[in-house]
Amino acid sequence: MNPDPNENEQAHPRHRQAFWLAGRFLLPFDPVRLSDAPAWRRAAVWLPVWGLLIGIAYAAAFRIAWLWLGEYRGVRVAPMVLLLVLDAGWFGYRLLEGAAHVVGSWRRTPTTTSLTPPAAGQASPAATVLIVLGLLVKFALLVSLPAGAVSWPADWREHLWIAYPYVIYRPLVLMPVWGRWTVLLASSIGRVSADGSPRLRELARGNSMVTVMTYWAAATALTVMYCSPSGRHVAWSMLISLGMLLIAYLVSFTLVRRFGGQTESTVTAAGWLVEFAFLLAYLPVARAIYWY
């Protein structure tokens, strides 16, 4: 039996639309526009792919800023400031916004578990403090990333060229991968809250644990490849991946219990917290591997 060519032609535009809808979910676009598009159910599978693309953009932006602004006594302050502006102002804005929203709504009465947004133009004091402290801590973690030696392993990775960047660029790629994978995981845990948006509801319906764990295995493989200069360090890389799985699940479960279901703020806040967790886990591992 021959497949229907018209069916294949219709499938490709749907996948392309789902890819762009996943980007709309992760980036600060108008949440109302295209909120009823049927392709939202296929958008979940593209969230980690967008994480990889964002990571590549971070690495490229940092490289350009480093060449342009340089460093002072081995500390890359100005390039990391520009990277943080790019993260907080565009690519990671939705994650930071979700975290601030969750913190601002956390201290509500126990009988009120819904996540009601604040009035337009207003932010709670706790959310403001979180944004300031969060950006400061993230900047400190990014500045602390080791540059590493400019060398290539004597194995198949030496032929990957740009796909196997220098040491300092690897966590910049991995951080958004784990953050957006967490958004995928969070959308599959529990139910969508009554306050949840229609696009999140459709995105969650199209998600499954098979998709989540398949992408976890892919993110783990990338982490092992980037964080294991030799076979002796594979266990360290696996420890990072298992830690991200545990933290992402616990954070997502806690938020869904606290607010009576998932919302866009809870799933993006989970991604923001796991990005922090990745940097906190990567730095001790890098210290043990690269002896800095």
What tens digit of pLDDT does each residue of 236-273 get? 889 999 999 999 999 999 999 988 889 999 999 999 99
CA dist., res. 221 & res. 227, Å (int): 10
CA dist., res. 63 & res. 177, Å (int): 19
Q: Over the Cα atoms of the chain, what is R_g?
A: 20
3-class DSSP assignment, residue 189:
coil
3-12, 87-96, 131-140: range with lowest mean pLDDT: 3-12
Proportion of the chain above pLDDT 90, given as a percent: 44
Tokens 């995105």 identify what position?
A: 203
Tokens 């133009």 identify what position?
A: 121
Mean pLDDT, rounded, for 158-173 = 84
For 100-110, the pLDDT digits (tens) are 888 887 766 44
Look at 10 and 193; give whichever has higher pLDDT. 193
pLDDT score of 136: 93
CA dist., res. 109 & res. 20, Å (int): 38
Count other Cβ atoms within 10 Å, centred on residue 145: 22
CA dist., res. 22 & res. 173, Å (int): 18
Say what the alpha-carbon torsion angle 138, 186, 236, 222 is, to the nearest 10 degrees: -90
DSSP label at 91?
A: I
Confidence of residue 146 (pLDDT cuts 50, 70, 90): confident
Q: Which amino acid is at 40?
A: W
DSSP label at 145?
A: -
Q: Which amino acid is at 283?
A: L
Find all residues with CB under 8 Å of 243, minimum gap 6, and list them.
277, 281
For 32-84, the pLDDT digits (tens) are 777 777 888 889 999 999 999 999 999 999 999 988 887 777 778 889 999 99
Which tokens is 142 given? 């990014």
CA dist., res. 178 & res. 185, Å (int): 10
DSSP strands (E only) in 39-105: none
pLDDT reading at 132 higher than 50: yes
pTM for this structure?
A: 0.87
Mean pLDDT, rounded, for 196-223 = 91
Confidence of residue 215 (pLDDT cuts 50, 70, 90): very high
pLDDT reading at 7 higher than 60: no
Tokens 């002796």 identify what position?
A: 232
